[in-house]
Amino acid sequence: MEVNQCGAAGIYGVMSYQVGLRTREMGLRMALGADRRSIFSLIIGRGIKLALAGAVIGAAVALALGRLVASHLYGVSAYDPLTVVGVSMFLIAVAALACYLPARRATKVDPMVALRAE
């Protein structure tokens, strides 16, 4: 399995777990009048915020440790902004796709079942 697939699987697992923990909250929100689109955007927004935080931290670490890996890079500088931004945007897109299924599942929560469940 490649690194991007492992990252997507990890993000999917974390978001799926969080949606499972918050089933009662989603049911309560829907019972109080929240529509499916707001629930969907809540879950996707949470995933995107986490991915953005990870991308910022990752870019900072990559730029800080650039001198250590500079001898292993061919045809690109260790401080190439296009590469850092491109990889960060790609990983944020992968995170958004990994959050899609848990967000979609959260919109399918039946408010009455979620409120009755213990």
Residue 75 has pLDDT above 90, yes or no: no
Rounded to whole angstroms, how far apart are CA atoms 59 and 45?
A: 21
Rounded to whole angstroms, how far apart are CA atoms 90 and 114?
A: 35
Q: Over the stretch 2-19, which tens digit does the pLDDT of each residue have? A: 655 777 788 788 888 888
Q: Which residues contact 54 (CB under 8 A, 6 or more apart)?
A: 91, 95
What's the gap between Cα 59 and its chain centre? Answer: 16
Residue 1 has pLDDT above 60, yes or no: no
Residue 64 has pLDDT above 80, yes or no: yes
For the chain, which residues make up each domain, given as ranges?
A: 3-65+76-116
